[in-house]
Amino acid sequence: MLDSLTQLLMGLGIALEPTNLAVALLGAILGTAVGVLPGLGPSATVSLLLPVTMVLDQTSAIILLAGIYYGSQYGGSITSVLMRVPGEASSVMTCFDGYPMARQGRAGAALGISAFGSFIAGISATLAIAIVGPAFTSVALAFGPVEKASIVLLGLVLAASIGGGSRAKAWTMVALGLLLSTTGVDLISGEERFAFGISYLRDGFNIAVLAMGLFGVSEMLMMIERRSSAESAPIPSYRLRELLPTGKDWQASRGPIARGTVLGFFLGLLPGGGALVAGFASYLLEKKLSRSPERFGKGAIEGVAGPESANNAAAQASFIPMLCLGIPANAVIGIIMGALLMQNVVPGPQILTEHPELFWGIVASMLVGNAMLVVLNVPLIRIFVLLLRIPAAMMAPLIVLFCVIGAFSMNNSLFDVGVVIGCGVVAYGLRKAGFDLAPLLLAFLLGSLLEENLRQGLILGLGNPRIFVESPISLTVILFTVAILIAPAVRDLRTRLIRKPC
Amino acid sequence: MNVARLVPYALAAIGLGAAANALELRLWTYGEPAAGLFPFLAATLLVVTSLLSTREKVPEEEAIELPRLIGYSAALVGFCLMLNIVGFALAALLFLIAVLTLIERMGWKKGILLAALFAFSTWGLFEGLLSVPLPQGMWRM
């Protein structure tokens, strides 16, 4: 451990060099902008900057790209809170409670706790990377398709409990999300499913496009359905001190930030886990642990603090499997790995011995970058909150413009624009019929992961599903899932028996 | 009859159609799960849970200004169609003018001015400053 800290200090020396400080600042600013604007994603920006990194040295190049990646995690929550339009797919969870908080005039508190939570999580995750990260990568390898399938199944059962309304309706949305996730070419057999000969559907639906339609456009339709509803938004205060989280907010957020950091760190280490699943897992955990879970979805600050911390911790931790094992956790990390390869650095276990200055320089730059991000973002809260002064009559069409730009920029396709608008109209109908959309989106996200791992697991087990109970990790998770599934029925039965007079 | 009550039935019908489509893809081949298995399971779950949802209460209907909603929906559809023809900047301008003046009843002068401000500044920010490609339409605008 002492050795790791010595190495980290050496890395700090590299990260604090003027060039590296400048590229970290540039990365942080670009990342925040990328996160805020729905038209730009970190994958596109990092790809565009790949040629630029060739003129920088190895460490500076990766510091710049890493800054954009974790900066986008900070910025992505801003439009989620203010407009219910997730700037990044990983900030979808922030919409659930951040937006209701903004409607109650507490946008500043939501943005503040999100910035500070991300900062605390980022710093803690970086220190954890320095101390235990490389050792934990071998633990991550113990999770194969069988274990992952069981974990995703557990996530799916928990997804059904996330929304408001009845369990039957929540499960209907889970089923619809799973069905939507199967659209496109089946990656194992190569057969087309539900594409109906439409070439655009061969790649399936994009999660960010779906999220913009489900939340952004449907919210816009809810906003304009009555003239009075379009005029009822409260006008927030503009003094920074009044905008920041109060002592009570901090008290409520302490636990969620700590738990979100730990959860996000471990999920970030798992290849395929990433920031998106981390935010979702943290939200579910906070809702399960809360004494008043009914507040979630209506503006509970814990629902913002936990997922935002988990997102950022996972974003930092996801560098470890890439650097130490050569396994990218998601698309952005994959592109950053490409930048390393372009610099003739092959990621893998040897990186710590062959390029210690690169590894520790990147880890230390995360500490510096996170500090820069919080300094940049907190004063900006005042400016972001000014957006809420825009009357709903103008905000509604602006949401449409942002959704259209965001959807089109994914694949330069007008089909995606149609999907956003179509999804928004369908989502409006579902909301009017009392269906909650959160389980739908989460099931869509988990659906492809579940199918992929379930089928790979069955192939490994030669078609015998017994393989899922032969692995101790998988068996434990399955038993836990069954317990969660039958718990409400047991509770009902117990209540009935108590009520029945002997 | 409340239209919202029909939603679970529509979802059940979608589930039935999807299940039939998944069956055509086959569920199990060569001792392994085939392409149709997972969609079939998801579609079956959708049918069962949708039918169970029909017994649930539908939230109280709040008064909706139907002409307003229809107007907005028509403007949205028109916007999507125009994107394909005149490109983002002009389509956004026409969409915003229609929404602000015809639906929100803003004065013509103020409506056109605000629409032009929002449409062209958004276009300038994304297309000009950030080089994010926006729809150009058939007229390549």
SS3 letters across A444-499:
HHHHHHHHHHHHHHHHHCCCCCCHHHHCHHHHHHHHHHHHHHHHHHHHHHHHHHHH
The DSSP letter of residue A214 is: I
CA distance B63 to chain A (A): 8
Rounded mean pLDDT, A260-288 = 80
Q: Is the Cβ pair B80, A462 closer than 8 Å?
A: no
CA distance A328 to chain B (A): 26
Rounded mean pLDDT, A121-144 = 76
Residue A361 has pLDDT above 90, yes or no: no
How many domains are there within chain B? Answer: 2
Task: Please list, residue by residue across A30-41, b when 16 or more beta carbons sit within 10 angstroms of its beta carbon and e when fewer do.
Answer: bbbbbbbbbbbb
Residues of B in contact with A224 (CB under 8 A): 68-69, 72, 103
Least trusted range by pLDDT, from A154-158, A175-179, A238-242, A281-285: A238-242
Q: Provide the token pair at A36.
A: 């805020």
The confidence band for A253, taking pLDDT boundaries of 50, 70 and 90, is very high
- Contact yes or no for A207/A373 (Cβ under 8 A): no
Residues of B in contact with A435 (CB under 8 A): 7, 53
Q: What stretch of H or E contains B118?
A: helix B108-123
Q: Tell me which chain A residue has its CA closest to the CA of residue B69.
A: A225
Is the domain of B73 the same as that of B125? yes
Q: Provide the token pair at B89.
A: 């900047």
Residue A388 has pLDDT above 80, yes or no: no
Segment A446-481, tens digit of pLDDT: 888 889 889 999 989 988 889 999 999 899 989 988
Does residue B47 fall inside a structural domain? Answer: yes
Residues of A in contact with B63 (CB under 8 A): 226
Closest to A227 (Cβ–Cβ): which among B34, B45, B68?
Answer: B68
The confidence band for A122, taking pLDDT boundaries of 50, 70 and 90, is confident
Segment A36-77, tens digit of pLDDT: 766 566 766 777 677 777 778 888 888 888 888 888 877 778
Q: Is the Cβ pair B7, A430 closer than 8 Å?
A: yes
Residue for token pair 């809420």: A388
- Contact yes or no for A165/B52 (Cβ under 8 A): no
The confidence band for A179, taking pLDDT boundaries of 50, 70 and 90, is very high
Residue A422 has pLDDT above 80, yes or no: yes
Model pLDDT, residue A298: 86
Model pLDDT, residue B101: 92
Which runs of E-coded beta strand occur in chain B?
28-29, 32-33
Q: Provide the token pair at A50.
A: 């790949």
Residue A231 has pLDDT above 60, yes or no: no
Which runs of E-coded beta strand occur in A12-159?
none
CA distance B80 to chain A (A): 7
Residue for token pair 């499913």: A193
> What does pLDDT average to over chain A?
82
Phi-psi region of A186 (alpha: psi -120 to 50; beta: other; left: phi over 0): beta
Q: Is the Cβ pair A166, B56 closer than 8 Å?
A: yes
Q: Is the Cβ pair B68, A224 closer than 8 Å?
A: yes
Model pLDDT, residue B136: 84
Does residue B141 fall inside a structural domain? Answer: no
Angle at A334 between CA B131 and CA A371, to 5 degrees: 75
Least trusted range by pLDDT, from A365-374, A384-393, A407-416, B95-104: A384-393
Residues of A in contact with B93 (CB under 8 A): none
Residue A193 in 3-state DSSP? strand
Q: Tell me which chain B residue has its CA closest to the CA of residue A425.
A: B73
- Contact yes or no for A403/B126 (Cβ under 8 A): no
Is the domain of B41 the same as that of B94? no
Give the highest mean pLDDT range of A49-63, A148-162, A191-205, A316-330. A191-205
Report the percentage of chain A scoring pLDDT > 70: 88
Residues in chain B predicted with pLDDT less than 70, given as ranges, are: 1, 61-62, 140-141
In chain B, how many H helices and how many E strands?
5, 2
Model pLDDT, residue A138: 63
For residue B3, give every residue at least 6 positions away whose Cβ sits within 8 Å of its Cβ, in sequence order, or none. none
Domain holding B33, by residue range, is 3-53
Question: What are the angstrom distances between the C-alpha of A205 and each of A211, A380, A430, A458, B65?
Answer: 10, 34, 19, 26, 32
Q: Provide the token pair at A157.
A: 């059962």
The confidence band for A246, taking pLDDT boundaries of 50, 70 and 90, is confident
Domain range list for chain A: 2-499
Residue A136 has pLDDT above 70, yes or no: no
Q: Is the Cβ pair A174, B45 closer than 8 Å?
A: yes
What is the distance between the alpha carbons of residues A170 and A383, in angstroms, rounded to a whole number?
A: 37
Model pLDDT, residue A229: 55
Interhelix angle A58-83/A92-103, rounded to 10 degrees, is 40
Residue A259 has pLDDT above 90, yes or no: yes
Least trusted range by pLDDT, from A272-276, A343-347, A378-382: A272-276
For residue A326, give every residue at least 6 positions away whose Cβ sits within 8 Å of its Cβ, in sequence order, or none. A337, A346, A347, A348
Does residue B34 fall inside a structural domain? Answer: yes
Q: Is the Cβ pair B56, A182 closer than 8 Å?
A: no
Residues of B in contact with A171 (CB under 8 A): 45, 49, 52
In chain A, how many H helices and how many E strands?
24, 2
For residue A393, give every residue at least 6 positions away whose Cβ sits within 8 Å of its Cβ, in sequence order, or none. A224, A230, A231, B100, B104, B106
Rounded mean pLDDT, A238-247 = 72
Task: Please list, residue by residue across A192-225, b when 16 or more beta carbons sit within 10 angstroms of its beta carbon and e when fewer do.
Answer: bbbbeeeebbeebbbbbbbbbbbbbbbbbbbbbb
Residues of B in contact with A153 (CB under 8 A): none
Q: Is the Cβ pair A224, B103 closer than 8 Å?
A: yes
CA distance A176 to chain B (A): 6
Segment A6-15, tens digit of pLDDT: 888 888 888 8
Residues of B in contact with A434 (CB under 8 A): 4, 56-59
Does residue B111 fall inside a structural domain? Answer: yes
Does residue B134 fall inside a structural domain? Answer: no
Closest to A225 (Cβ–Cβ): which among B18, B64, B96?
Answer: B64
Q: Provide the token pair at A41.
A: 């994603």
Is the domain of B70 the same as that of B48? no
Rounded mean pLDDT, A18-37 = 84
Interhelix angle A58-83/A331-342, rounded to 10 degrees, is 160
Residues of B in contact with A408 (CB under 8 A): 88, 133-135
Q: Is the Cβ pair A168, B55 closer than 8 Å?
A: yes
Does residue B85 fall inside a structural domain? Answer: yes
Is the domain of B49 the same as that of B70? no
Rounded mean pLDDT, A112-126 = 88
Residues of B in contact with A194 (CB under 8 A): 18, 21, 39
A183 φ, ψ (degrees, to nearest 5): -65, 140
Rounded mean pLDDT, A362-384 = 81
CA distance A411 to chain B (A): 10
What is the distance between the alpha carbons of residues A395 and A400, in angstroms, rounded to a whole number?
A: 9
Q: Is the Cβ pair B53, A166 closer than 8 Å?
A: yes
Is the domain of B71 the same as that of B123? yes
Q: Tell me which chain A residue has its CA closest to the CA of residue B31.
A: A463
What is the distance between the alpha carbons of residues A311 and A95, in angstroms, rounded to a whole number?
A: 14
The confidence band for A368, taking pLDDT boundaries of 50, 70 and 90, is confident
Pairing of strands A192-193, B28-29: unpaired
Is the domain of B42 the same as that of B75? no
What is the distance between the alpha carbons of residues A443 and A173, in angstroms, rounded to a whole number?
A: 8
Report the half-sphere exposure of A183 (CA within 13 A, side-chain side): 22
Report the half-sphere exposure of B62 (CA within 13 A, side-chain side): 10
Is the domain of B47 the same as that of B71? no
Is the domain of B100 the same as that of B45? no
Rounded mean pLDDT, A202-231 = 79
Closest to A175 (Cβ–Cβ): which among B7, B49, B56?
Answer: B49
What is the distance between the alpha carbons of residues A481 and A263, in angstroms, rounded to a whole number?
A: 18
Residue A140 has pLDDT above 70, yes or no: no
Model pLDDT, residue B131: 74
Q: Is the Cβ pair A226, B45 closer than 8 Å?
A: no
For residue B23, give every residue at least 6 positions away whose Cβ sits within 8 Å of its Cβ, in sequence order, or none. B36, B40
